[in-house]
Chain A
Amino acid sequence: MKKHEKNNKSHIEIEKLIEEEKKVGLEVFRKTDFAAKLEMRINASSKPKHLLPYWLRNPVPIAALLLMIIVSGLVLRKLIVPYSDEKSVTVIEKFLIQAPNMQKILQAQESQELAFPPGIEEFFRFEWSIQRVILSAQREVIPDEHIPFLIYKVMYEANDYRRRGLASYSREENELKNLQNEVKNLREQNDFRKYFFQVLKK
């Protein structure tokens, strides 16, 4: 019974405290313009939201994202595109050509490599004439006593070539090529003889 009474007393005390708290709270609450505040919040919440998320509107994440894309792009390019020696050579070549005095050096080197020593063309022609005589002797039956005469003729011809000089080189070269082709095509003895006499007549 005592406990019950005690509990009731405590409960009444609690109720009183709560009433007191509510009274003070409501006084504060009534002073505030609740409706105006609420309207303001409703208006703020009903504003259209940004289409892009916050992190896309902020410059720092965008810069970081771009940097990541660029770096990953470079890495992927390294991985996917095969290494090209030819390309590297071209790049080095371009670099060297642009270097000071490199053009002159290259030109000098090129001219040295391509220039024949004086009189070499005549030597080639002479050599070819000898070969031509020997080739003809191998392919066709030529009496041995004729060979020295033929070689003599060739040597004579070589002197003639030397005199003509470098100007007529290309023309002679073409003619020789034509003759070479003709030799290859010769099959019969009569043809060969005709050809041989043509050469000797020159």
Chain B
Amino acid sequence: MKYRETIFCVCLGFAKNPLDAEELTQETYLKAYKNINNIKAKETAKEWLFKIARNTCLDNTKKARLRRFLRLEEEKEPIEGKNPEAQLLWNEQLLLLKKSISNLPDKLREVFILREYGLLSYQEISRSLGIKEGTVMSRLRRARQAVMDRLRNEQ
């Protein structure tokens, strides 16, 4: 439970609101509990947990896309009337940022979120995703650029 807030932050990067992020965090821990014996010797608990979180969030994104495609679920805006605190703070810019992040390709998005929301080091990201550090850096640069471009164009 040591990393639960960091995991939550990563899930928040993938999700549209804190409630969904909490649900994803729960799902991550549940999967971790069920697969506790599958942890590899060479990876740390933190890396392993972030890998599960990332997979859970990407799965959820795919399912949400499918639901939207089948018109089972309407696309919700991140600002929901349910939470008054969130309603005050989630301004138009934040909404735009969320859209920009969600429009990124999965490979760029996961690196961006792990770095910006999870505050993971390049090494940790590379080990969690099984890619080289150089690749992490280049993907992160491209992701940041894409988000900034999008924000600029929208403003």
Residues of chain A whose beta carbon lies under 8 Å from any beta carbon of chain B: 7, 10-11, 13-15, 17-18, 20-22, 24-29, 32, 34-35, 37-38, 41-42, 45
Q: How many A-B residue pairs have CB under 8 A?
A: 78
B144–A41 contact, CB under 8 A? no
- Are A34 and B22 in contact, CB atoms less than 8 angstroms apart? yes
A11-B144, A34-B4 given; A22·B9 CB < 8 A: yes
Which residues of B are found within 8 Å of A11, using beta-carbon distances? 144, 148
Report B-chain residues with C-beta under 8 Å of the C-beta of A17.
Answer: 93-94, 97
Does B29 have its Cβ within 8 Å of any Cβ on chain A? yes
- Once A21-B12, A28-B86, A35-B1 are accepted as A-B contacts, the answer to whether A41 and B97 lie under 8 Å apart by CB is no
The 16 sampled A-B contact pairs (Cβ below 8 Å) are A13-B151, A14-B97, A14-B116, A15-B116, A18-B13, A18-B117, A21-B89, A22-B117, A25-B21, A28-B86, A29-B8, A29-B18, A29-B25, A34-B4, A34-B25, A38-B29
Report B3 CB to chain A, min CB distance, Å.
Answer: 12
Whether a CB of chain A sits under 8 angstroms from the CB of B123 is no
Shortest Cβ distance from B134 into chain A, in angstroms? 20
Chain B residue with minimal CB distance to A37?
B26
Interface string of B92-130 (1 = CB under 8 A from A): 011001100000000000000000110000000000000
Which residues 17-62 in B have Cβ within 8 Å of A in the complex? 18-19, 21-22, 25-26, 29-30, 33-34
The 10 closest A-B CB pairs, nearest first, are: A25-B18, A28-B18, A10-B148, A25-B12, A24-B89, A17-B97, A29-B8, A22-B9, A18-B116, A38-B29
Q: List the A side residues contacting B21 at CB < 8 Å.
A: 25, 29
Determine which residue in A13, A26, A28, A45 has the highest number of CB atoms from chain B within 10 A of its CB, and name it. Answer: A28
Neighbouring A residues of B19 by C-beta, 8 Å: 28
A7 contacts across to B, CB distance below 8 A: 145, 148
Determine if A42 and B86 form an interchain contact, defined as CB atoms under 8 angstroms apart: no
A34 to B7, CA, bound (A): 12
Residues of chain B within 8 A (CB-CB) of A34 are 1, 4, 22, 25-26
Q: How large is the interface on B (under 10, 10 to 19, 20 to 34, 35 or more residues)?
A: 20 to 34
Interface residues of B (CB under 8 A from A): 1, 4-5, 8-9, 12-13, 18-19, 21-22, 25-26, 29-30, 33-34, 83, 85-86, 89-90, 93-94, 97-98, 116-117, 144-145, 147-148, 151-152
Nearest Cβ in chain A — how far from B140, in angstroms? 11
Given contacts A14-B116, A18-B117, 15 further A-B contacts (CB under 8 A): A10-B148, A14-B97, A14-B144, A18-B116, A20-B94, A21-B98, A22-B9, A25-B8, A25-B12, A26-B5, A29-B25, A34-B1, A34-B25, A38-B26, A38-B30
The residues of A that contact B1 with a CB separation of less than 8 Å are 34-35
For B23, the closest partner residue in chain A by CB is: A37
Known: A10-B151, A20-B94, A42-B33. A26 touches B22 (CB 8 A): no
Q: With A10-B148, A24-B86 as given contacts, are A45 and B30 in contact (CB-CB < 8 Å)?
A: yes
In the complex, are the beta carbons of B148 and A26 less than 8 A apart? no
